[in-house]
Amino acid sequence: MIMVGQRKWNRRIAVVVFLFPALLGLLAFQLLPMVSSVVISFTDWDLLGKWTNLHFIGWDNYAQVFDDEKSGTSFKNVLVFLVGYMPAIAILGTLFAVMLNRGIKGIKFYRAAAFVPVITSWVAVSIVWRWLLNGQSGLLNYLLSRIGIEGPIWLQDDHWALIAIIAVTIWKDIGFVSIILLAGLQDISDDYYEAAELDGASAWSKLWRITVPMLSPTLFFVVTISLINSFQLFDQVLIMTNGGPAGATSTIVEQVYKNAFQFNKMGFAAAQSWVLFLLIFTVTMIMQRLQRRWVVYER
């Protein structure tokens, strides 16, 4: 006769057996590399040497992150990117969501079309936009010339390169943001609007007193995700400008990549990565605190 205690142990053994492959993968491909990167960040390992040749240098790599001119430029560029990208993606994403929420003919096609850039590879998108923004033979400058405007050399001009990166990123991400916000809009009950109409509320009043507060949890999610992704800006920069011209579009992740795999400064790159992690973690915690002030959850 099987005892109750034996049944519990059998269940625990079964859980361990089924979870072990996933836990092994988590340990091998996530936890172990993370711990290793922490150790490496305190060394001057060059990636080519053996593990037995690790030379610990203490906090020197972290001090260099804040002293290095290229690191400072990359942090500044990311902040400029955030200033241009975040308000635009939030406002335009909301406007697109409102338009996609209308019951017009062919609305399903428009929704699918808005999401196509999201599922397109950044490599393909960056190559196409690099051609469109070519200063000499690009389609955009050609169209501008037809109306008498001489376009700049977008990706080779240190004043326009980062603006071009921001615009392309907004173009690709707006479909994701608008679809998520559309789901939030459709989750708002019509009862609120019907009650507001009975009270004689204007369209503007319904927008600010019903739509915006009820949409705030979804908007908070979108803003948080977009903020985290912005700090990890990399693909479009590497392909379209390679961090140029003269570091005008250099980003933190781009610097981590170059220091690790081009300059073989693995210890310094690991330190940059952990500084980036701490920055993202701090900003996320601040966002979590601020949500109590403006995010409204339905009860």
Q: What is the pLDDT of residue 1?
A: 44
**Residues ≥6 apart with Cβ < 8 Å to 241:** 155, 161, 165, 248, 249
Over its C-alpha atoms, the chain yields an Rg (Å, rounded) of 25
Q: Which distant-in-sequence residues (6+ apart) come within 8 Å of 227 by Cβ?
A: 82, 86, 283, 284, 287
109 near 128, Cβ under 8 Å?
A: no
Q: Which domains are delineated in the chain?
A: 61-294 (1.10.3720.10)
Q: How far apart are CA 204 and CA 264, in angstroms?
A: 57
Q: How far apart are CA 32 and CA 6, in angstroms?
A: 34
- pLDDT of 33 > 80? The answer is yes
The residues with which 56 forms a beta bridge, in sequence order, are 43
- Collapsed DSSP state (helix, strand, coil) of residue 152: coil
Please tell me which residue, 290 or 230, carries the higher pLDDT value.
Answer: 230
pLDDT at 137: 86
Q: What is the mean pLDDT of residues 240-255?
A: 92
d(CA 134, CA 126): 12
Structure tokens at 17: 């057996």
Please write the tens of the pLDDT for every residue from 50-65. 666 778 898 999 999 9
